[in-house]
Amino acid sequence: MSNHDLTNNQQNSNEDWQDKLTPEQYHVCRCGGTEPAFSGKYYDHHEQGEYLCACCGVPLFSSEHKYDSGSGWPSYYQAINESTIRELRDSSHGMIRTEIRCSQCDSHLGHVFPDGPAPTGLRYCVNSASLDFKAAD
């Protein structure tokens, strides 16, 4: 069974997720952790295709919307479909940010900031550990 077989977070226990995810993926996706800057496998990744939720497989971001923000994490100026991303207020670490989660399985992805490029002005700053990649055909 792949990680993508665990699509409904409401029916999966922490043990289910721990069995299917790497320790780093579990820390980021299920516990809201963050991988170190400039360390993720998709930070400097330039292949054409789609970035999927590592937990449930829903397409989240396209390589067409990826850009180098200099932040150390994969960055996108828009999601493939806004309905796949859920936003939450995050007041941890002494600042106010907007956390982003997969709307299908509630996996923590990263944060979105209002300092991205045109046309949206947004920077979806995403942990590589929360993503899988599907190359374009």
How many C-beta atoms surround the C-beta of residue 90 within 10 A?
15
Catalytic residue among 53, 55, 105, 125: 125
Domains and CATH numbers, the chain: 3-135 (2.170.150.20)
pLDDT tens by residue, 76-88: 999 999 999 999 9
Kindly indicate the confidence band of residue 2, based on its pLDDT and cuts at 50, 70 and 90. Answer: very low
State yes or no: is 31 an active-site residue: no
Amino acid 34: pLDDT: 95
Q: How far is CA 82 from the centre of its chain?
A: 13
pLDDT tens by residue, 84-106: 999 998 877 777 889 999 999 99
